[in-house]
Amino acid sequence: MQKLKVLKTPKEWAKLRLEILSGGQSIGFVPTMGALHVGHLELVKASLDQCDFTIVSIFINPTQFNNPKDFETYPKTLEKDLALLDENGVHAAFVPNTETMYPTSTEMTLSFGKLEKVLEGKQRPGHFSGVGLVVSKLFNIIKPQVAFFGQKDLQQIAVIKRLVADLSFQVDISVVPTKREADGLACSSRNVRLSPSERKIALVLFKSLSKAKSELLAGENWFAVRQAVESDFQNILSTELEYFELVHPESFALYSSFDPNQKSSLCVAANVGDVRLIDNLPVID
């Protein structure tokens, strides 16, 4: 059985990358912030299936947290993560520290136009600039042929696709469907922070998405559907709905009505206790 190679600097990876490319192998890349779960393993599996060599990065990126407390409480499980990657056949892990990724203070910011003025962009000012910055750095370091991202972070995918197009990165973006627990809760590193009672309450996100999708496809009015969802959340203790919207899955334009002839996805964000969760569900692909 192969042994996972753990790399901490760009130079270490650059040397290995040359060996991989000289052998004619393709490189698949899965960027993560650690606290790995079965959702991440779906990305890993997709990369192993599609590419000859798979590398996973683990780096909790400080520039994408607009809430310092959220950054401080983000789960850190590096040894467990590395063991999991090794068990699942990953070839290499890139595990840089903050000084490696940000050797000097960063002055640069990135703007994604309308994408950062709605939903996650509106709720988390500066978040997508931080995401774009670290993903740019990782793409420049890893230089993969394919990078894999989960559909759960739908708006982030739209941002990354814009980044790739505007900055001419030579990488294909592969989107892997959201991995869910048996009861429908989207897999997330934040789920471990939910108490048993909050874990049950959190199911309201997926239930609301599923119910709204069914009602829209059955011809219900979008305004009435959203109003009913907002009312449901108001009746649940320890839960605060941030948004529940119907959007175009690529431009993230907000829809005021449902059109079965247009691509659309439902997106939700809510706080359950002090844990912020997001989810989405395609309505029309």
> pLDDT tens for residues 196-231?
999 999 999 999 999 999 999 999 999 999 999 999
Asked whether residue 157 is assigned to any structural domain, the reply reads yes
Examine the fold and report which residue of 151, 176, 201 is the final residue of a domain before the chain moves on: 176
The pLDDT value recorded for residue 130 is 96
35 assigned binding-site residue = yes
Total domains present in the chain:
2
24 & 165 share domain: yes
Confidence of residue 1 (pLDDT cuts 50, 70, 90): low
Asked whether residue 181 is assigned to any structural domain, the reply reads no
101 assigned binding-site residue = no
49 & 105 share domain: yes
The pLDDT value recorded for residue 52 is 98
Confidence of residue 42 (pLDDT cuts 50, 70, 90): very high
> pLDDT tens for residues 68-93?
888 888 889 999 999 999 999 999 99
Asked whether residue 184 is assigned to any structural domain, the reply reads no
39 assigned binding-site residue = yes
237 & 166 share domain: no
162 & 198 share domain: no
Is 40 assigned a catalytic role? yes
Examine the fold and report which residue of 176, 210, 230 is the final residue of a domain before the chain moves on: 176
Confidence of residue 66 (pLDDT cuts 50, 70, 90): confident
The pLDDT value recorded for residue 54 is 98
9 & 135 share domain: yes
Could you say which of 40, 91, 127, 248 is catalytic?
40
Asked whether residue 285 is assigned to any structural domain, the reply reads no
> pLDDT tens for residues 232-263?
999 998 999 999 999 999 999 999 999 999 99
Question: The domain containing residue 80 runs over which residues?
Answer: 5-176
Asked whether residue 73 is assigned to any structural domain, the reply reads yes
84 & 196 share domain: no
Asked whether residue 141 is assigned to any structural domain, the reply reads yes
The pLDDT value recorded for residue 201 is 97
> pLDDT tens for residues 114-153?
999 999 999 999 999 999 999 999 999 999 999 999 999 9
98 & 211 share domain: no
CATH number at residue 195: 3.30.1300.10
244-249, long-range: CB < 8 A, 24+ apart? 244/208, 244/212, 244/268, 245/118, 245/119, 246/216, 246/222, 246/283, 247/118, 247/119, 249/154, 249/158, 249/282
Asked whether residue 183 is assigned to any structural domain, the reply reads no
The pLDDT value recorded for residue 156 is 98
130 & 255 share domain: no
96 & 234 share domain: no
The pLDDT value recorded for residue 2 is 67
156 assigned binding-site residue = yes
Write the burial class of residue 254 (CB in 10 Å: 0-12 exposed, 13-18 middle, 19+ buried).
middle
Which percentage of the chain shows pLDDT scores above 70? 99
